[in-house]
């Protein structure tokens, strides 16, 4: 067998290692992207969502008593998150909600979806999440109690507030507030009062 040149003997292992490393990096990259996609959530801007007033125009999926209970929890949680709930006439955004429950091994999953639309009826964002329910039942809704509804409402109100805080309306209001605060900080201070002028003149009684 002819001898392999020294340069080729050096190149082949390096090329193989580089190819293997490239494949490993691709796998890691794909895994990272999948994890990011799965865990993607809206992060709050830190500003108030109140300028992006929203109207809930629809809530479907749950039996009527559970739907009413969920909305009572949600309305209270949204107020605590500084979300401005209003009617459609005064809203900047419209929210259509859906709740569903389905059986899984060991219990059920209770999920929500909020589809957020702008004033042109274009869907701006979709929020969705779920909570796990323990138990065994033929009907998943039978595993849904008030604590599960309260947890789902709090979670959905928190994520709705986070999204609304990133909208153009919320960011514009925050920028305006910062601008007003900056102008107030550099405004000339009022002159200090003259102590002598502030004292009442007194006259000695003459005899």
CATH number of 131's domain: 3.30.160.150
Task: Using alpha carbons, list the distances in angstroms from residue 147 to 52, 73, 82, 111, 143.
Answer: 29, 10, 22, 14, 11
pLDDT at 203 over 70: no
Which helix or strand (DSSP H or E) is residue 131 part of?
strand 123-134
204 versus 15: which is more confidently predicted?
204
Determine the pLDDT at residue 76: 98
Q: Which two tokens stand for residue 163?
A: 């999204």
The b/e string for 78-100 (b: 16+ C-beta within 10 A; e otherwise) is beebebbbeeeeebbbbbbbebe
pLDDT of the residue at 192: 66
Tokens 């998943």, residue?
140
Q: Decide if pLDDT at 35 tops 80.
A: no
pLDDT, mean of residues 36-50: 73
Residue 158 is part of which domain span?
54-167
Report pLDDT for 1: 46
Q: Does the pLDDT of residue 116 top 80, yes or no?
A: yes
Specify the pLDDT at position 184.
Answer: 80
Q: Is 128 contained in some domain?
A: yes
Mean pLDDT of 18-42: 40
Number of domains in the chain: 1
Answer yes or no: is 23 within a domain.
Answer: no
Whether 59 is covered by a domain: the verdict is yes
Q: What is the pLDDT of residues 137-178, one digit of tens each?
A: 999 999 999 999 999 999 999 999 999 999 999 999 999 888
Q: What is the pLDDT of residue 177?
A: 84
Q: How high is the pLDDT of residue 190?
A: 64
> Is 98 contained in some domain?
yes
How far is the CA of 198 from the CAs of 60, 115, 188, 193, 205, in angstroms?
69, 64, 22, 7, 22
């Amino acid at each position: 067998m002819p001898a392999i040149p020294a340069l080729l003997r050096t190149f082949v292992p390096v090329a193989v290692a580089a190819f293997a490393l490239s494949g490993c990096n691709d796998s890691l990259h794909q895994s990272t992207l999948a994890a990011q996609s799965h865990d993607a959530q809206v992060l709050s801007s830190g500003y108030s969502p109140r300028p992006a007033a929203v109207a809930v125009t629809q809530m479907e999926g749950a039996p009527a008593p559970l739907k009413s209970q969920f909305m009572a929890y949600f309305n209270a949680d949204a107020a605590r998150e500084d979300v401005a709930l209003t009617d459609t006439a005064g809203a900047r955004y419209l929210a259509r909600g859906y709740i569903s429950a389905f059986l899984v091994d060991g219990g059920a999953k209770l999920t929500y979806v909020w589809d957020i639309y702008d004033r042109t009826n274009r869907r701006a964002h979709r929020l969705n999440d779920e909570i796990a329910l323990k138990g065994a039942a033929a009907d998943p809704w039978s595993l849904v109690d008030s604590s599960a509804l309260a947890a789902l409402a709090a979670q959905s109100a928190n994520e709705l507030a986070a999204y609304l805080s990133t909208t153009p309306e919320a960011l514009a209001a925050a920028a305006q507030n910062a601008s007003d605060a900056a102008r107030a900080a550099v405004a000339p201070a009022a002159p200090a009062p003259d102590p002598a002028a502030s004292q009442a003149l007194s006259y000695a009684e003459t005899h």
